Homo-oligomer: A and B are copies of this chain.
């Protein structure tokens, strides 16, 4: 059996990391709000800070496929976190508006998001985080230009 070196496995460690992080996110979110997912919550927060963005822009911001965003938003509308209104300027786009329930949920969950980040990055220095970011962006760049 082969010896395991980081070179052979670090890419899987990346996958493992994000999965562990998403687990604690979901766990902490559900303590406060039971019917929302990590991704739906993320959509709310992004939309709150960037009003009037299209689904495509949202998809880019959260690194998801357009089709995924359509379905995530569909579920959020069903659960009364969002409403779709008409975009007068461009009828292809939909105007996403946060409901009262959505706004309240943001208030409840913003501290949870901060806690999650803090928990995950606990004990890491600013330099380490910068290095991590730099190395990851290098990998992203390698993949994109391949």
Chain A: residues with CB nearer than 8 A to chain B? 1-21, 23-24, 42, 45-46, 49-50, 61-63, 113, 117, 119-124, 126, 128-133, 135-140, 142-144, 146
Instruction: Report B-chain residues with C-beta under 8 Å of the C-beta of A20.
Output: 139-140, 143-144
Is B46 within 8 A of A1, CB to CB? no
With A and B bound together, what is the CA distance between A138 and B20 in angstroms? 11
Is B129 within 8 A of A132, CB to CB? no
Is A6 within 8 A of B63, CB to CB? no
Instruction: Report B-chain residues with C-beta under 8 Å of the C-beta of A12.
Output: 62-63
A1 partner, pick from B11, B18, B49, B130, beta carbons under 8 A: B49
- CB-nearest residue of chain B to A27: B146
Instruction: Report B-chain residues with C-beta under 8 Å of the C-beta of A11.
Output: 18, 21, 117, 120-121
Instruction: Report B-chain residues with C-beta under 8 Å of the C-beta of A49.
Output: 1-5
Instruction: Report B-chain residues with C-beta under 8 Å of the C-beta of A23.
Output: 143
Instruction: Report B-chain residues with C-beta under 8 Å of the C-beta of A3.
Output: 49-50
With A and B bound together, what is the CA distance between A4 and B50 in angstroms? 9
Instruction: Report B-chain residues with C-beta under 8 Å of the C-beta of A9.
Output: 117, 133
Q: What are some 17 contacts across the A-B interface (CB < 8 A)?
A: A3-B50, A4-B49, A6-B42, A6-B45, A7-B46, A7-B62, A7-B63, A10-B121, A11-B117, A11-B120, A13-B140, A15-B63, A16-B63, A23-B143, A24-B143, A122-B142, A132-B135
